[in-house]
């Protein structure tokens, strides 16, 4: 269960938006609070004019950047260098209860019979490994194959999806078996094609452990951005008001170390 000592992780995000009227924008692209940062910058331009965002934080260290924009175009640039590992926050009883509950994209109740049949007799670390392997074998990763409203049950029926779908199915199966589980949005060095990534975290033996059924990036390199019940809580962009079109998204994540991820062991998101 050891954690590899990553040196530096360099991440960045460039977003361009087209606006049709006044809008409130909430960006969730910054590295979560608690990770030691060597440098960090964020810039928001509205029609070329600087518009400093307001930062808000939740109980898990998710950092939201809020902007009220009136104009035709918004450009966001974010960059950070993480120079160390975050200390995992202790799991609380409130966490346990919160992440056992049903949520919009994770129908644990509907998947309970499947979970009971497929994972009978398993618990603890063995269960987490088994769930990751089961989802990986049964779901094909196909870019663009799902919509923003697809749930864990939709993914199981379609047998294909993207990272958020793999995470939602893993979360729903674990909750159905009485294991608290949640979604983490992350920067993922080694991911190809590069994009924001989503993984499941499960609470076992008092700690949160990563389950990434996609197998697309080393878990040890992942850098937390947001934490929530499912994708509804962790979107990189939320808008309120006039319609918004995302015209450009460019995400980069590079680690100065490399490790071959052993999926039979447990790893925490640091």
Q: Are 201 and 184 in contact (CB under 8 A)?
A: yes
User: Can you name the residues that pair with 181 across neighbouring β-strands?
Assistant: 202
Which residue reads 């049949």 in tokens? 117
Greater confidence (108 vs 257) lies with 108
Q: Is the pLDDT of residue 5 over 70?
A: no
Domains along the sequence of the chain with CATH: 9-85+238-253 (2.60.40.2250), 93-232 (3.10.620.30)
Mean pLDDT over 236-242 rounds to 97
Exposure of 163 in the CB half-sphere (CA atoms within 13 A): 22
Q: Is the pLDDT of residue 87 over 90?
A: no
Q: Are 212 and 201 in contact (CB under 8 A)?
A: no
Q: Which of 134, 135, 132 is nearest to 204 (CA)?
A: 132
Residue 1's pLDDT band (boundaries 50, 70, 90)? very low
Residue 263's pLDDT band (boundaries 50, 70, 90)? confident
Mean pLDDT over 180-205 rounds to 96
Express each pLDDT in 112-132 by its tens digit: 999 999 999 999 999 999 999
- Report the percentage of the chain scoring pLDDT > 70: 97
Express each pLDDT in 47-69 by its tens digit: 999 999 999 999 999 999 999 99
Q: Is the pLDDT of residue 179 over 80?
A: yes
Mean pLDDT over 241-257 rounds to 95
Q: Which of 46, 181, 41 is nearest to 111 (CA)?
A: 181
Q: Which two tokens stand for residue 166?
A: 């793999």
CA distances for 112 relative to 106, 107, 116, 157, angstroms: 11, 9, 6, 15
DSSP state of 86: P
Kind of pairing, strands 73-82 and 223-228?
unpaired
Kind of pairing, strands 197-204 and 207-211?
antiparallel
């Amino acid at each position: 269960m050891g954690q590899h000592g990553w040196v530096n992780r360099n991440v960045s995000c460039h977003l361009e938006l087209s606006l049709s009227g006044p809008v409130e924008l909430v960006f969730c692209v910054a590295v979560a609070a608690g990770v030691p940062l060597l440098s960090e910058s964020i810039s928001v331009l509205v029609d070329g004019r600087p518009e400093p965002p307001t930062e808000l934080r939740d109980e898990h260290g998710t950092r939201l950047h809020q902007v009220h924009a009136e104009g035709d175009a918004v450009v966001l640039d974010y960059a950070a260098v993480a120079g160390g590992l975050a200390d995992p926050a202790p799991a609380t009883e409130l966490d346990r209860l919160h992440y056992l509950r049903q949520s919009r994209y994770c129908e644990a109740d509907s998947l309970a019979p499947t979970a009971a049949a497929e994972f009978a007799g398993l618990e603890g670390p063995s269960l987490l490994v088994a769930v990751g392997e089961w989802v990986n074998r049964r779901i094909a990763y196909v870019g663009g194959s799902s919509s923003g409203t697809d749930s864990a049950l939709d993914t199981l029926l379609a047998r294909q999806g993207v990272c958020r779908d793999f995470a939602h199915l893993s979360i729903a199966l674990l909750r159905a078996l009485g294991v608290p589980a949640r979604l983490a949005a992350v920067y993922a060095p080694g991911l190809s094609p590069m994009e924001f990534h989503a993984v499941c975290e499960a609470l076992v033996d008092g700690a949160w452990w990563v389950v990434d059924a996609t197998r697309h990036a080393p878990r040890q390199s992942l850098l937390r951005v947001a934490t929530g019940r499912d994708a509804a809580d962790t979107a990189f962009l939320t808008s309120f008001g006039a319609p918004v079109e995302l015209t450009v998204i460019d995400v980069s994540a590079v680690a100065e170390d490399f490790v071959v991820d052993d999926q039979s062991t447990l790893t925490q998101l640091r």
